[in-house]
A and B are shown apart, each in its own frame.
Chain A
Amino acid sequence: MLSIKNVTKRFSGIVAVNDCSFDVEEGTICSLIGPNGAGKSTLFNCVSRVYSIDSGNIFLNNKRIDNLATHKIANLGVGRSFQLTRVLDELSVTENLVLHTASGFNFHLLKRAVTKDDEVKAEQVMEFLGISHLRHSSMKELSYGQKKLLDLGSVLMADPSFILLDEPAAGVNPRLLETILDRISLLKDQGKTILLVEHNMEMVMGISDKVIVMAAGSIIAEGKPSEIQSNKEVLEVYLTG
C-alpha cells in the first residue's frame, strides 16, 4: 500500500533520512523502531509531507504522493497522529474529533461546524475508544492520556485507509496502553493499514506483522518481529545507542 523508494531528507548538513526504501503491505501493522534521532519521525513527516523530501519517491497505492500538498495526502485517506499530542485546546472535544469534516475546499464548508451526523459518528468513535464520558468536558479538564486517545479518535473519524501512529504509547499508563493496543488490533481487523513508530518493544513485537529498524537515518534491518529480536546488528544499535 505504501512504498518508500530511496527517500533522503537533509536538514542543512545533517542527513536525517538516508536513502530509505521499504514497503508496507495493505492490511498489516508495520512498526518502525530505532534509537532516538534515527529519523523515524522525520520519515513520518516526509510521508505526510510536513517535510519535503530531497530525493526519492513515496507512493500510496501506486500513486506518487511526495509531490502533493499535506492536505491532499490527508484527503487520499492517510491519517496520522503526532509524537507530542496535537489536539487543539481552543476547540471543544467534539470539534477536535470532527476536524477532518472541514477538509478540502468546497461548499460543504458552509455547513454547520458540527452537524447531527458528525455528532453521531463522534459518539461512535468515542465509544470505540472508551472516552464517551469526555464528550462535554472542557479540553482543559482532559489528562494527557485522554488527549492521546482524543488525538487517535480524530484520526479515526476521517476513516483513513492508511494510518501513521507516532509513538501512541508514549507517556500513557499501562492500563491505557492496553486500550490503545486493543484498538490498534481492531483497526487492523477492519482492514486498515498501520505504520507505527514506537519505543515500547513489548508492544511492537506483540502487535506487528513487520518491523523495520532505523539507525542514524538508515534502515539497518527489516523482517518479522522474531527475526528482528535475534538480529545482532539491531541488538548492537540498541545497546550502544
Chain B
Amino acid sequence: MTNSKYLVPLLALLMLTMFPLVQFFSNQNYIIHLLLYAFFYIIMTSSWNIIGGYGGFISIGHNAFLCVGAYVAGYAAVRYGISPFYLIGLSGLVAGIFGFIVGLITLRVKGPSFIISSIALIMIMRIVFDHWDLVGGASGITLPFNSLPVQWSKLPHYYSFLFLALAAIYLNWYVRHSKFGLALRAVSHDETRSAVAGINVKMIKVTAFALSAFLIGSAGAVWADYLTYIRPNMFLVILIAANIVLMVILGGKGTVTGPIVGTVIFILFNEIILTFFGATELNILLTGLLLVITLLYFPDGIVGSLKNKNILPKFLDWG
C-alpha cells in the first residue's frame, strides 16, 4: 500500500464525512440526498460485483435481496416498533440466507439460463409480495417518520449508507485479494479446471451469492427507513437491477473501484440530464447513449480498460 494510492480516497472520505456540517450554514438536503443515493448504489454495485464481476453470474434479480432486507426491517418497525437501524444486521442475515437458498437452485446453470432465472425470481417474488397480507400486499407498509428536524433528518441514513458503502467496498477488495476470491475468479472462467484443482465449486459460488445478498439486504433496511413507505413495485422491478448492472459494466466489472466509478458517473450524468432536459424520455435515451459510447472506447468498462492499457491512476488501482 503506497501513500499516494490511498491519499485521494482518504481525502474524499474525509470530505464526505464532514460534508453534512454544511447544514449548519445552509440547507443542502438535495445534495445530501444525492450523496446518500450514490452510497446506496455503491453498496449495491460493489455487492453485485462479487457474484457478477468476480463470479461471472450476471444477475438481473439482485434487487430481490434489497426487497427482503427492506421488508424484514419495515415489518419489524411497524409490528414491534424497532428502528430499522437496529435491524441492519438481521435484515442482511435474512437476505443472505435467502440468497444462499436461491443460489443453491439457480447457480446450477450459467449464462442466459441464469439470467432468466434471476428475472424469474423477481417475477415470483412480486406475485408473492403483492398477495401477502402479512406485509401489506400490493399496498405495502408505511414506516414511522423519524422525529429529527428536516435539516438533520437525512443524516442517520447518510452515515449508515456511508458506513455500509465502505463495508461493501472493503468486502469487495477483500474478496478480490483472498483465496476465496481466487477460487471464485477461477470458477467463473473454468469450473472443471477449478474442480480438478480441488476447489469446491458449488460452495464457492453459493457463498459469493449469499455474501452479495447479505450486503444488499443490509442496505434494504436503511432504504426502507429512508423511504418510510415500502411496497413491492418499488423494489421488484427489473429496472433497479438493470441500473446496478449498467453501473458496474460502465465502471468495470471484476475490479474493486469499477463499481464506484460507474455509480458516480451514472448518477452524475443522470443529474446533469435532469437539470438541462428535465425528467423526460430523453433521459433514458441519453443514458443509453452514454453506455454505448463508453463501451465503444472502454470495452472493459472505464477502470478495466484503463488498467489493461496500464494508464489507470494509482488511486483507482485497487485490483
Of the candidates A102, A111, A112, the one whose C-beta lies within 8 Å of that of B186 is A102
> Do A88 and B179 touch across chains, with their CB atoms under 8 A apart?
no
List the B side residues contacting A80 at CB < 8 Å.
196
**Chain B residue at smallest Cβ distance from A110:** B178
Kindly state whether residue B185 has any CB partner on chain A within 8 Å: yes
CA distance A154 to B193 in the complex (A): 11
Q: How many residues of A contact B (CB 8 A)?
A: 32
Which of B181, B197, B198, B200 meets A113, CB within 8 Å? B181
A88 to B199, CA, bound (A): 14
Distance A19 CA – B204 CA, assembled complex (angstroms): 35
Q: Whole-angstrom distance from the CB of A214 to the nearest CB of chain B?
A: 22
Query: Is residue B203 within 8 Å, beta carbon to beta carbon, of the partner chain?
Result: yes
| Contact with B193, one of A88, A95, A108, A158 (Cβ below 8 angstroms) | A88
Quick one: which of B185, B186, B189, B198 contacts A158, CB cutoff 8 A?
B198
- Asked if A154 and B197 sit within 8 Å, CB to CB, the answer is yes
| B45 smallest CB distance to A (angstroms) | 21
- Number of residues in B with C-beta < 8 Å to the partner? 24
Alpha-carbon gap, A112 to B177, bound state (A): 6
Among B182, B189, B203, point to the contact of A105 (Cβ < 8 A).
B203
Q: Chain B residues near A88 (CB, 8 Å)? A: 185-186, 189-190, 193
A102 near B182 with CB under 8 A, answer yes
Contact A71-B199, Cβ < 8 Å, known A86-B190, A86-B193, A91-B185: yes
Pick the contact of A90: B178, B185, B194, B203 (CB < 8 A).
B185
B195 interface hit (Cβ, 8 Å): yes
In whole Å, how far is A8's beta carbon from the nearest beta carbon of chain B? 22
In the complex, which residues of chain B have a beta carbon less than 8 angstroms from the beta carbon of A108?
179
Contacts of A154 in B (CB 8 A): 197
Q: In the bound complex, what is the Cα–Cα distance between A112 and B182 (angstroms)?
A: 9
Chain B neighbourhood of A89, CB < 8 A: 189
Complexed CA–CA distance, A48 and B200 (Å)? 14
Query: In chain B between 156 and 203, which residues have their CB closer than 8 angstroms to a CB of chain A?
Result: 177-183, 185-186, 189-190, 192-201, 203
Residues in A whose Cβ lies below 8 Å from that of B183: 102-103, 109
Residues of A within 8 A of B178 (CB): 109-113
Whether A82 contacts B193 by the Cβ 8 Å rule is: yes
Contacts A50-B196, A69-B195; A113 near B189 (Cβ below 8 A): no
Q: Given the complex of chains A and B, what is the CA–CA distance between A109 and B185 in angstroms?
A: 13
Q: Kindly state the separation between the CA atoms of A32 and B296 in the bound complex, as whole angstroms.
A: 50
B177 engages A102 (CB within 8 Å): no
A100 contact set on B, CB distance < 8 A: 197-198
Does B193 contact A102, Cβ atoms closer than 8 Å?
Answer: no
User: A82 vs B194: C-alpha distance in the bound complex, in angstroms?
Assistant: 12
Complex Cα–Cα for A89 and B198 (A): 19
In angstroms, Cα B195 to Cα A10, docked, is 22
The proximity string for A residues 93-123 relative to B, scoring 1 for CB distances below 8 Å and 0 otherwise, is 0010011111111001111111000000000
Decide if B196 touches A74 in the complex (CB within 8 Å).
Answer: yes
**CA gap between A75 and B198 in the complex, in Å:** 5
- Find chain B residues with CB under 8 A from A57 CB: none
Residues from chain A with a CB closer than 8 A to the CB of B179 are 101-102, 108-113
Known: A99-B194, A101-B179. 12 other contacts (CB 8 A): A48-B196, A69-B195, A74-B196, A74-B197, A86-B190, A89-B189, A98-B182, A99-B186, A103-B183, A103-B198, A110-B180, A112-B178
4 closest Cβ pairs, A-B complex: A103-B198, A102-B183, A74-B198, A70-B195
Interface residues of A (CB under 8 A from B): 48, 50, 69-71, 74-75, 80, 82, 86, 88-91, 95, 98-105, 108-114, 154, 158
Binding site for A on B (CB under 8 A): 177-183, 185-186, 189-190, 192-201, 203-204, 207
A-B contact pairs, 19 of them (CB 8 A): A50-B196, A71-B194, A71-B196, A75-B198, A86-B190, A88-B189, A88-B190, A100-B197, A101-B182, A102-B182, A102-B183, A102-B197, A102-B199, A103-B198, A105-B203, A105-B207, A110-B179, A111-B179, A112-B177
